Amino acid sequence: MSIEFRFANDRDLDTIVEIESSSMSCPWSRDSYKEAMDSDHAFIMVATESDSCVGFAVFYLTVPESELPDIVVAESHRGKGIGKALLDASLRELTSRGVDTVFLEVRVSNERAKALYEKVGFEEIGRRKYFYSDPVEDAICMRLEMN
Ligand SMILES: CC(C)(COP(=O)(O)OP(=O)(O)OC[C@H]1O[C@@H](n2cnc3c(N)ncnc32)[C@H](O)[C@@H]1OP(=O)(O)O)[C@@H](O)C(=O)NCCC(=O)NCCS
């Protein structure tokens, strides 16, 4: 089955919330996704299989900078290159909007996400003590320069 990429719409909301809540200890609310979807200063890119969402990434825009606060691939679909392809599609979109730098935070223990970010070129620029709750954990701050 082939994976495609497009912007999220209202019909994706239930699935996005379901994927998020089954993956993250402090899940985002439905309203937060709806707000990002409707904002001129954010977008949500979704990976789809038969037009059904199997992963998503949220970006906030303050051109020429952007922030990636949330990316999740459904557990059943992990380890198949979807996270990497979702980021690649999103970074192309960001470039077309004039973004040249992307920032994110990741839990120090999240080896899988760190490996993915490093693979597309993110580098560690610092750490934030006790940044996360449930469980409390430090964050690694990363930056990607796209030029
Ligand atoms: C992080 C996440 C989005 C990655 O998505 P994915 O579709 O599984 O990732 P991919 O299959 O594209 O893998 C990309 C790279 O990640 C790394 N990776 C993938 N699975 C891994 C694993 N089990 N262990 C360690 N690294 C792994 C590899 O470097 C891989 O590249 P490679 O396959 O060429 O070696 C996904 O694991 C996820 O949704 N995790 C839960 C939510 C989360 O932690 N989000 C990030 C919050 S900051």
Query: For residue 138, how many C-alpha atoms fall within 13 Å in the half-sphere facing its CB?
Result: 8
- Give the Cα separation of 105 and 124 in Å (integer): 9
Reported as a single tens digit per residue, the pLDDT across 53-62 is 999 999 999 9
- Give the Cα separation of 111 and 107 in Å (integer): 9
> CB of 119 closer than 6 A to ligand 1?
yes
What pLDDT, on a 0 to 100 scale, did the predictor assign at position 27? 95
Q: In what order do the strands lie in the sheet containing 42-49?
A: 3-7, 42-49, 52-62, 65-73, 101-107, 137-145, 123-132
- Give the Cα separation of 115 and 121 in Å (integer): 10
Reported as a single tens digit per residue, the pLDDT across 93-134 is 999 999 999 999 999 999 999 999 999 999 999 999 999 998
Confidence of residue 147 (pLDDT cuts 50, 70, 90): confident
Distance 81 CA to ligand 1 centre (A): 8
Domain positions in the chain are 3-145
Amino acid at 87: L
Global model pTM greater than 0.85? yes
Mean pLDDT of the chain: 97
Distance 116 CA to ligand 1 centre (A): 5
Task: Give Cβ neighbours of residue 100 (< 8 Å, ≥ 6 apart).
Answer: 64, 65, 145, 146, 147
> CB of 89 closer than 6 A to ligand 1?
no
Reply yes or no on whether the pLDDT at 22 is more than 80: yes
CATH topology of domain 3-145: Aminopeptidase (3.40.630)
